[in-house]
Amino acid sequence: MLVASLALGTAFALVTPATAGAQTVVSQGAGRFVTTPLLTSAVLNSLAPLKGASAVDSGPGADVIVDRPLDALALVGLSNLKVGLTNLPVFGTGGVIQVGQIGQYGRANSDGSSTAFSGTTGSASGLLGLPAGAVSPSGSIGAPTAGSGATITVGSPVIDPVALRADFVELAASAEQNVAGTQTSKYRLGSFAVIVGGSLVATPVSTIRPAIDSLIAAMTTAGVTAPANPFPADFTVHLTTADLQAAGLGSDLNNLPADTDLTQYIPLAVANRIIQETNDFVATATASVAGVPVGLQPALRLVIKAEQAIVGPVLANLGSSFLGPLGLALRSQAQLIVNHREMVNGALAQTALRVGLGGNGSLALVDLASATVGPNAGATVQPTTPTTTGSTAGAGGTGGAGTSGGSGISGTGATLAHTGAPLEMQLVPWGALALGFLLAGFVSFALAARRPRRGAPSGN
């Protein structure tokens, strides 16, 4: 009921003020790093930086530039967001999402053009050509892995069927509208790495790793310098960007199809990595036999043959019986959706990464690094930033502050771009004005009906 009410109220707000002569918006651009229904109106109203950097030029006048990093209070507010029965922290140390220095930037120009950016500050120059220092960095949210702009961690490798950690070097989005009205957007991921664990992955790896340890011991005894065991002691599998691309992910990370879910490529990438690492190690051991003293060669060959007898059936079972359950478990845990793009009422919103927690984002949906521009040069009410609720957008697109298409996303805490006031506060004047007109008309009609007409019979 609450979600339905929010959707209805937002849709009303998108239409009513525009028909009542709203102030013309020459241009507008907004960068917002975190967008999620978990941020209620109460939180947004008390922690303004979480609304992002919204620049609105109502003209005439100079260009409007807003550079608004997340301050200390906003970082604390994010750290307090929790989901699920276990009160899982969404942000911060021990949470699902940890990010480094990020910025939020919006620019609205008097010529009708606008730009917006949010994300890792080092990405701003590549996306918008902004000089160093144009986008101020916020403090870190938690402690992302060294060298990463953002770290996403879901599940426990000890107790869950599947757990993953994804480290992104960059995480940013930008949007632009030029003087001619053309809108474009970009996002930036950079390279990334994924660590996959949990009982489904540990089952094959926990058999292969000890077999390789035995082979390493035999090689050492024979005087061969053996390579390290490719599988960690925690039975996780480490994937690179190239591993996911070999499993079907596009070659250009910054030009993937809209709403590409990275998790769909992980099962095959895991299976391929286990097979490749195991076979490569066996090949290295086999090649080393020739350099071993002749008297020790038979013993080493025997150990290699025994290792192959152990791991062979395990590798043979990494087909559908392994891929299917791993894929289902991943989809029920999380979604990592890249390049989410929305167009609503002339506003273009680009999001670098949408993180879904639970099956189809049933626990939470969090948009990371979003940028919105437009519509410019029109008296139309706009959302300053895209907002999301319980489902990923379907055909027809979804809006930052409303619903559109077959499966719309309702907004929370949206604002009218030319006022910046919370949406729920702006609905009150319009509703009160309409009610006042109705009451005045009713009173006038009642008085006219009761007034005697001149020359009419008195009825006596």
Nearest to 195 by CA among 146, 225, 234: 234
Convert the pLDDT of each residue in 415-432 to its tens digit: 323 333 333 333 334 344
The DSSP bridge pattern shows strands 364-373 and 88-89 to be unpaired
Roughly what angle, to the nearest 10 degrees, separates helices 297-316 and 266-288?
Answer: 170
The predicted model scores a pTM of: 0.75
Per-residue CA distances from 2 to 118, 142, 346 (Å): 30, 31, 27
How far apart are alpha carbons 340 and 361 in whole angstroms?
Answer: 14
235 vs 435, more confident: 235
Predicted local distance difference test score (pLDDT) of residue 23: 62
- In the block, residue with structure tokens 């879910």: 261
Give the pLDDT band (50/70/90) at residue 22: low
pLDDT tops 90 at residue 5: no
* Per-residue model confidence as pLDDT tens digits over 82-140: 888 788 889 988 889 999 889 999 999 988 999 999 999 989 999 988 888 899 999 88
Beta strand pairing call for 64-67 and 102-108: antiparallel
Note the pLDDT of residue 84: 82
Residue 56 has pLDDT above 60, yes or no: yes
Q: Find the mean pLDDT for residues 146-162.
A: 90
Please compute the mean of the pLDDT values over residues 249-266 and round it to a whole number.
Answer: 96
pLDDT above 90 (res 6): no
The domain spans of the chain are: 28-374
User: What region, left, alpha or beta, does residue 8 occupy, with left being phi > 0 and alpha being psi -120 to 50 degrees?
Assistant: alpha
Summarised one tens digit per residue, pLDDT across range 362-377 is 999 999 999 999 999 7
Identify the top-confidence range among 177-186, 219-228, 268-277, 404-413: 268-277
Cα–Cα distance between 252 and 190 in angstroms, integer? 10
Tens digit of each residue's pLDDT (9 = 90 or more) over 445-455:
344 444 444 44
User: In this model, does residue 14 exceed pLDDT 50?
Assistant: no
pLDDT at 298: 93
Mean pLDDT of 64-82: 90
What's the mean pLDDT in 218-235?
Answer: 94
Give residue-wise pLDDT tens across range 379-402: 333 434 433 323 233 333 333 333
What share of the chain has pLDDT > 70, as a percent?
77
